[in-house]
Amino acid sequence: MEMESNYDRRRELRAFDDSKTDVKGLVDSGVAKIPPIFFDERYQRDFRSDSGNCKVSIPIIDFEGIDKDTVKHSKVVDRIRDACLKRGFFQVINYGIPISILEEMLDGIRRFHKQETESKKEFYTRDATRKVAYNTN
């Protein structure tokens, strides 16, 4: 995506923050294309391959036993660092949180985001000192 030379990303970000809405709010308002404020040209890549087949693997990092074995702990830290530097994301397994708790958490997140924008606005902030905060990047 090529940006116009007169595009003021900071102004657009400020306006988006001032609206105290989120991506769902944009979709609900009828936006059909991803707004330019969500693109950072420094990180854009062409993910197409010559064959048209894109094969991307997600690093899977196993946390089992890292609290009991310092060598394993160190290796896991190295794998996380490597995944962050090379991919920007990874999947963690065996971290000890029961699936039922994760499902309850996801249900709560879905309920929050399904609320009307006005209900969510009181929590929209970039103030990292607040105990409950919600915003978007």
Any domain includes 95:
yes
Any domain includes 83:
yes
Q: Do 32 and 70 have their domain in common?
A: no
Report the number of distinct structural domains present in the chain: 2
Which domain covers residue 23, as residue numbers?
7-45
Any domain includes 90:
yes
Q: What is the pLDDT of residue 68?
A: 95
Q: Do 70 and 107 have their domain in common?
A: yes
pTM for this entry: 0.54
Any domain includes 64:
yes
Any domain includes 78:
yes
Any domain includes 70:
yes
Residue type, 37: I
Q: Do 61 and 29 have their domain in common?
A: no
Distance CA 56, CA 47 (A): 10
Per-residue pLDDT of 9-38, as tens digits, reads 889 888 888 888 888 788 888 888 888 888
Buried b (16+ CB within 10 A) or exposed e, 86-122: eeeeeeeeeeeeeeeeeeeeeeeeeeeeeeeeeebee
Any domain includes 62:
yes
Q: Do 68 and 20 have their domain in common?
A: no
Predicted confidence band of residue 134 (pLDDT cuts 50, 70, 90): confident
